[in-house]
Structure 1
Amino acid sequence: MRRPPLGGPLPAETTGLVGRQRELRTLASLVETSRLVTVTGPGGVGKSRLALRAAADAAGDFPDGACFAEVGPVQDPLLLGHALLEALRLTDATARPPLDVLVEQLADRRMLLVLDGCEHLVGACAELVGALLRSAPGLRILATSRQSLRVEGEHLLPLGPLPVEPAGEGLADAVRLFAERAAAVLPGFAVTAANRADLTQLCRRLDGIPLAVELAAGRLRVLSVEQIAVRLDDRFRLLTGGSRTAPPRHQTLRTTIGWSHELCTPQERLLWARLSVFAGSFDLEAAEYVCGGGGIDAEDVLDLLGELVDKSVLLRLGEPAGEGAARFRMLDTVREYGGQWLRSAGEEPRLLRRHRDWYLGVATWGEVEWFGPRQAETAERTRLAHPNLRAALEFSLAEPGEEQLALVLAGTLWFYWVGSGHLGEGRHWLDRALALAPEPTEARAKALWVTGYMATLQGDLARAAAVLEECRRQALDTGDDRALAYAVHRQGCAALIADDPVRAAELFEEALWHYNALGELNCNVLMAMFELGLAYVFQGDTAVGESWLDRVRGICEEHGEQWAYAYGLYAQAHARWTLGELRQARGYARECIRLNHLFRDLLGIVLGVELLAVLATEGPEADLVEARVLQGAAHRIWQGVGRPFFGSRSFNGPHREGARRARAGLTEEEYEAAFARGAALDLDAAVRRALGGGEVSEDAGPEGRPGQGPGPLPVRPSPVPAG
């Protein structure tokens, strides 16, 4: 005869579970195969709801059913056993310890026990769970906690926020949750084309935390979506008024986060506050430098980070061991809470300055490593640091007396702004820094030539001319030979783009003389050589041009450099196209695209795609439709770079010729339809399309023929007049 189950029925769901199907399947599998499973995650992420749904689904597999015990309200660890007896509806009037009674009653039961909210009594819960599992072989326990119980045999299911970006055509889970909860308080509410973008942005700002999303939806009783978004700057004041029947720790966002704060030791709270200065993810070394000292020894940071991860205050990111350094991130809601404590302690200015100093070091080291075999790693490291670099720049621009360091940081990052497709953002920071720091310093000189370089690449030649001439004059006035070399070099770039290759070649040769005199050898010097070669190619002197390009290639291969090498490949492809050597030209162009895609260098990618498009119109492999598709793809990429072809006739030549041939061989409908197909491709799809047309030429890769340099750098030319 089947015994009646212990405890009452599982709590009924008052609202449906949105999303979480993958997590639910994983949890079901774990419950089926493991005796102890703990769902971990930050406050408000939906651990309890997921566990309840899993328990309800699995209850039929246990002869003695499933029982739910809420641990959260229990404050005294000595009362934990009594609370569990109450949840199981067991009574015992003897003086025996509650654990003895539990062991006796559960010893021969085959049931699932759900312990919800264990984090604040994690030690007591761990002891209780360990004892029960040893004494009751038919018992399985499903726990929820912001940190693991650390009991032998425990399996963890970390639960993150809901996705805020759609995986396909449908709504993201966070937006669906908002819509369902909103419809409950505002009948007729629905996601429409008009409000979908606003709702996505709102859920993104709420980190996709289900509790935060539900609390925000509840505010639709009195506020519009737009008003909620505006008031999110004080999200802890806004997101109150949750369900009165919810556990107290879930009724407002502030108390949800505060609950985690109370569970931390004083040192963990201090580190939490200090970590709030990080934007986005960070690694252990950054945390040790920025947060160490003043109550936290640097060597203690590792263990404290581990505790904060265990308590779900921090999320651990990164690749598996051996494939990359672990990174950590704090949800914005958790970060904001820590920031309030940091400000109240009066530590924020000091920590922000240490944060800026660390990321200035990241930028400086990145600039050094941009010349050499670690370029791709440098690009990725800088990409990961990008949110923190923005925060460091913002601090330097907002804090009086830090303007020069803002110039240094923004200028040092030229390699990232240019090499990883962030020209517009780079100019934003540089323009702000230049406006705040007009003094003729070395930092300003560098910021000027970097600004001129990026303005040139965007086709903004008027701005480029102004800042590069200011840099040149300041360099002459102050005797800054390095700044003079860079200013003249970038004036050569402007001349090349302005379709004056003769003048450009003169300026490049002058810049190379200065670089040689300084002993300078880096990516900028290689780019000057590549640009000089391209200037000769544009003049029709392909032999001299290719001799310079071969020199670039040889130096790049010697030093393991890839970024400048990729631009050299573009020039080689252009030269081979003009000579009618189509196979080699295609190989060079594809390898140019492949390498630039490693760095997300939009300019290098789009130049290569434009060349492949015209090459698709030639030879026995000609495909006019494919040529026009590639031109459409290039058009979309140009929108992320700036003015197409910089406004240059020389750089526009391949596109113009390819379009002429495609128009001559296609109907108007075919011509426009193919372009539209290409314009619909995103960056990665466009690159796949371009590279899918064939293998890279044997001549194109790093294994190609040895570079044949043109001899020594040029002797110093006679002074070139400005203008």
Structure 2
Amino acid sequence: MLSETRLVTLTGVGGVGKTRLALRTAGVLRRAFDDGVWLVELADLRDPALVAHTVLESLGVRDHTGRCRTDVLAEHLRDQQALLVLDNCEHLVDACAELVEVLLSAAPGLRLLATSRERLGVGGEHLWQVAPLALPDARLPLPDGDLARYPALVLFADRAAAVVPDFEVTAANQEQVVRVCRLLDGIPLAIELAAVRLRALPLEHLLAALDDCYRLRVADKRVGRHQTLRAAVEWSFALCTPAEQTLWARVSVFAGGFDLCSAERVCCGSGLAAGAVLDLLLGLVEKSVLIREVHAGWSRFRLLEPLRQYGQDKLREIGEESSLRGLHRDHYLELAERDEREWFGPHQNEIFARTRLDHANIRAALDFCLVEQGEGRTGLRLAGALWFYWAGCGGLKEGRYWLDRVLGHAPVPSPERAKALWVNGYVATVQGEIAAATAMLEECRGYAEQVGDDTALAYSIHRLGCNALVGDDLRTATALFEEAQARYRGLGELNSNVLLAGIEMAIVAVFLGDLDRATALCEEVSAISLEHGERWSYAFVVYVQALVAWNLGELDRATACGKESLRIKRNFNDLLGIALAVEVLAWIDTTRSASERAAVLFGAARQIWRSVGFPMFGSRYFGAPHRQCESLARKELGDHEFELAFRRGAELNLDETISYALEEQYEPTPLGAGERKADQWTPLTQRERQVARLIADGLSDKEIAVKLVIGRRTAEGHAGHILQKLGFSSRSQIAVWVATQRR
């Protein structure tokens, strides 16, 4: 169907295998798409306005400007031949349909494969109804040894053997297995939930229990397979202990996964003790209700989407949904404010990694503040506390989205609103939207002066100084930075933001030619950063030191500083810091007469700047070295050679750009040389690379074990190591990653 039409939607009951079929199809067709196969997972997304944003993230397109997300996406895909898999669209049908229509019109080489419980309703859409797994004819006996012909029976046998190692289908029990799978209508998720019960129930007891459970519900064949899955989930729920049932319902409030601490903080009370949560979570893992995953060394848990929806239904039935969402929001507000306090210290990398893992939960918490009556000021607190994530960790666009919304939702002046105003002004400045930033910062300053909020006043003055800096008004910038620093000292305020005021003053000094003052300011800020173990602001200090060294002609030191700044900013996904570091390295290479390399870096830097806002903020002072060095490199290479090298740089993705700038055994392939040689399998071992390829081909752990002649548990161990090393949470992510590497 995909060879004949540009949009195919896989529909069917939850748990029937729509995602698995989509991924297998995408894997088979990956070589047919020169620009790749991309998976967009939408199950954890609740805000329709973020659909295009999520697609951009999945494609690795970093654009944090104020441009329309849909326009950016259409521009990116316009000339590409790619396959986009939109998984779990049913709760966002209208938003997905609107986006799909735009993309199909804008990108003639694009194909879309969607999974949804209902059609998208877009012109040209072709539907494929995903059927349950095949079962034997109920009217005929199953011949001995014929089990392998029926996928439903094979799946049951495979999952049963995983929990009862000596289980196998024999002539004596095969009829019971067939009856179980028939009761479950061949729905894979239902079969898996039932098979795991063999750990506690003999097969005959499992069959009897299912038979009793299903007799009334599915006697009327008109109820359909949705009711069959519902019955399977209800039966699994009924077999849990009361405490497990309570926890199942309560953890459904999480989005995208959670850790033990979060479960204890959000779900305890009303008969559920904190000390019991770990055992209950492990019990739900044993029953295949929860999936346990490891991310960057942290153990986390996740509900499959149909089971999460069932848990939410239970929460509504018992009237706990609103209270649990409030507890969930309170927990992530507490985490955000704690992380904001601890950001100025040695744990910044850990805070960034943990916040990124909880991104979906942060969205859910902010959404609660916007839909629940009387929660506007709390929403301002949460969005404002996350300034380090929005402005410092590559979240400019989404940060601006949430800050705009909470500010619009809570227009009454307050300390919380003042903070959200200066944070949003900071984000808007980095995006290059100076007029919007100035309006918000002036409102913040006016409020602070009126009510005597000295903290808000210091931050608003500081950020107005940044606006003056990028607006080339160096005298005003100096005065504002000095006033802000004096106010910070009076308040006893010391954090990463405060350090930035000193760094920005050093940049002013560089522009004014006072390199001694710039050096002194950098040394002062550097000493404070190193004393506290702070790295994020420190990387900006090292960037300014690179500028100073370059101006002094100390090119080796300038290169070392530029690379150190880039290495640090890579750890935070800080696009502004990365763009500045790549720029200064390009200037240094130009001075060294390494003009081809400089041209590649100029091309790469332009792409990053397009993702942030205006190149070099549109500033004359920031832009002058860029223009001079680019002109010199062009003169040395000639227009044709310069443009070739520039285009090579513009084609690099962010990771490739950083590797090239740091000279990490990477050279971009010249234009016209065909596919890039990009078999970047590290850090996987050779055996793990084999396993990753087989996972991408759709093989189960059991099939991998047979193919590689290894034990099943060994295969499972390799799969777990791959997920951990790559920082992934699902086999589908491995499949997409392998497809990218192969391409």
Taking structure 1 as the reference length, the TM-score comes to 0.65
Counterparts of residues 289-308 of structure 1 (less than 5 Å): 289-308=265-284
By how many angstroms is 1:533 displaced? 1.1
Q: CA deviation at 1:332?
A: 2.4
- Partner in structure 1 of residue 608 of structure 2: 637
After TM superposition, give the deviation of residue 255 of structure 1 in Å.
Answer: 4.6
Listed as ranges, the gaps of 5+ residues in structure 1 are 1-41, 47-158, 176-191, 208-214, 233-237, 695-723
Given that 1:582 and 1:615 are in contact with CA atoms closer than 8 Å, whether structure 2 keeps it comes out as yes
Matched residue, 1:313: 289
Compute the displacement of 1:202 (Å): 3.3
1:162-181 equivalences under 5 Å are 169=31
Question: Between Structure 1 and Structure 2, how many residues are aligned?
Answer: 508
Assess, with a 3 A threshold, how the Cα gap between structure 1 residues 166 and 602 changes in structure 2: closer, same or farther. farther
Q: Which has the higher contact order (CA 8 A, sep 6+)?
A: 2
Other-structure match for 1:118: none
In the alignment, is the contact (CA less than 8 A) between 2:441 and 2:464 conserved in 1?
yes
Residue 183 of structure 2 aligns with which residue?
248
Alignment of 1:51-450 (within 5 A): 169=31, 200-202=85-87, 226=122, 247-249=182-184, 250=187, 251-252=225-226, 253-255=229-231, 257-319=233-295, 324-450=297-423
Whichever residue aligns with residue 200 of structure 1, its letter is V
Contact 2:89–2:114 under 8 Å retained in 1: no
Spell out, residue by residue over 1:387-415, the C-alpha distance to the aligned partner (whole angstroms, 9 max, x if none).
11111001111111000000000001001
Which of the two has greater helix per residue? 2
Alignment match, 1:537: 510
Shift of 1:225: 7.3
Look up the match of 1:58. Answer: none
**Displacement after TM superposition at 1:665 (Å):** 1.7
Show the counterpart of 1:702: none
Mapped to 1, the partners of 2:437 and 2:657 lie a distance apart of 30
1:639 shift after superposition? 2.5
C-alpha distance in structure 1 between counterparts of 2:488 and 2:279, whole Å: 48
Equivalents in 1 of 2:492, 2:509: separation in Å? Answer: 25
Q: Is the contact between residue 39 and residue 87 of structure 2 (CA under 8 Å) also seen in structure 1?
A: no
Contact 1:570 1:589 in 2 (8 A): yes
Deviation of residue 417 (structure 1)? Answer: 0.6
Aligned residues with identical type, % of pairs: 47
SS at match of 1:318: strand
* Structure 1 residue 555, shift from structure 2 partner: 0.6
From the superposition, tell whether residues 240 and 346 of structure 1 become closer, same or farther in structure 2 (CA, over 3 Å). Answer: farther
Tell me, in whole angstroms, the C-alpha distance in 1 between the residues paired with 2:445 and 2:116.
Answer: 60
SS of residue paired to 2:612: coil
Deviations 1:98-122 (A, max 9, x none): xxxxxxxxxxxxxxxxxxxxxxxxx
Answer yes or no: is the 8 Å Cα contact 2:478–2:508 preserved in 1. Answer: yes
Q: Which residue in 1 is equivalent to 2:454?
A: 481
- Displacement of 1:637 in angstroms is 1.5
Conserved? CA contact 2:383–2:420, under 8 Å: yes
481-490 or 636-645: bigger deviation: 636-645
1:608-650 per-residue CA deviation (whole Å, 9 max, x = no partner) reads: 001111111122xx32111111111112222221222221122
Q: What is the one-letter code of the residue matched to 1:649? A: R
Which range is displaced more, 675-684 or 474-483? 675-684
Map of 2:217 onto structure 1 = none
Counterparts of 2:482 and 2:78 in 1: how far apart (Å)? 56
- Alpha carbons of 1:447 and 1:173: their partners in 2 closer, same or farther (altered >3 Å)? closer
State whether residues 593 and 604 of structure 1, in contact with CA within 8 Å, keep that contact through their aligned partners in structure 2: yes
Change (3 A) 1:667 1:257: farther
Amino acid aligned to 2:406? A
Deviation at 1:693, TM superposition (A): 7.0
- 1:689 aligned residue (645, 648, 660): 660
Structure 1 residue 610 corresponds to structure 2 residue 583? yes
Q: Structure 1's 566 and 160: CA in aligned 2 closer, same or farther, altered over 3 A?
A: farther
Residue 460 of structure 1, aligned match among 433, 442, 457: 433
676 and 259 in structure 1: CA distance in 2 versus 1, 3 angstrom threshold: farther
Matched, 1:670 2:641: yes
1:259 positional shift: 4.9
Q: How does 1:482-631 map to 2 (within 5 A)?
A: 482-619=455-592, 622-631=593-602
Greater shift in the superposed pair: 631-640 or 535-544: 631-640
Q: 1:567 to 1:307 in 2, by over 3 A?
A: same
1:537/1:575 contact within 8 Å kept: yes
- Paired with 2:392 and 2:39, the residues of 1 have a C-alpha distance of 35
Partners of 1:165 and 1:615 in 2: how far apart? 44
Deviations 1:650-683 (A, max 9, x none): 2223321221112112233322221221122111
Q: Distance in 2 between matches of 1:218 and 1:293?
A: 36
Residues 352 and 645 (structure 1), Cα distance of their counterparts in 2 relative to 1, 3 Å cut: same
- Please tell me whether the aligned partners of residues 567 and 604 of structure 1 are also in contact (alpha carbons under 8 angstroms): yes
The answer to whether 1:661 aligns with 2:632 is yes
* Partner amino acid, structure 1, of 2:373: P
SS of aligned partner of 2:270 = coil
Q: 1:162 to 1:537 in 2, by over 3 A?
A: same
Cα shift readout 1:71-95 (whole Å, capped 9, x = no counterpart): xxxxxxxxxxxxxxxxxxxxxxxxx
Shift of 1:267: 2.3
* Contact 2:633–2:642, Cα closer than 8 Å, also in 1: yes
How far the C-alpha of 1:160 sits from its partner, in A, is 13
TM-score (norm 2): 0.63
| Cα pair 1:497 1:648 within 8 Å, conserved | yes
Which amino acid in structure 2 is aligned with residue 278 of structure 1? F
CA distance 1:688–1:256, change in 2 (3 Å)? farther
Single out whichever of 515-524 and 164-173 deviates more from structure 2.
164-173
Question: How far does residue 241 in structure 1 lie from its aligned partner after superposition?
Answer: 7.8
Q: Deviations over 1:515-563 (max 9, x none)?
A: 0111111111111011111111111111111111110111111111111
Distance 1:484 1:408 in 2: 17
- Report the residue type matching 1:626 in the other structure: R
Q: Which of the residues 651, 676, 680 maps onto 2:622? A: 651
In the aligned structure 2, how far is the partner of 1:257 from the partner of 1:165? Answer: 29
Give distance in 2, aligned partners of 1:199 and 1:684: 22
Between the aligned partners of 1:634 and 1:316, the Cα distance in structure 2 is 40
Aligned to 2:87, the other structure's residue is in SS state helix
Distance 1:659 1:275, change over 3 A: same
Cα distance change of structure 1 residues 342 and 436 upon mapping to structure 2, 3 Å threshold:
same
CA deviation after TM superposition for structure 1 residue 263, in Å:
3.7
Unaligned runs of 5+ in 2: 1-13, 41-76, 93-112, 138-180, 188-224, 666-743
- Residue aligned with 1:315, SS: strand
Instruction: Flag the 1:650–1:445 CA change in 2: closer, same or farther, 3 A.
Output: same
Distance across 1 between alignment mates of 2:343 and 2:595: 38
1-structure distance, mates of 2:365, 2:126: 25
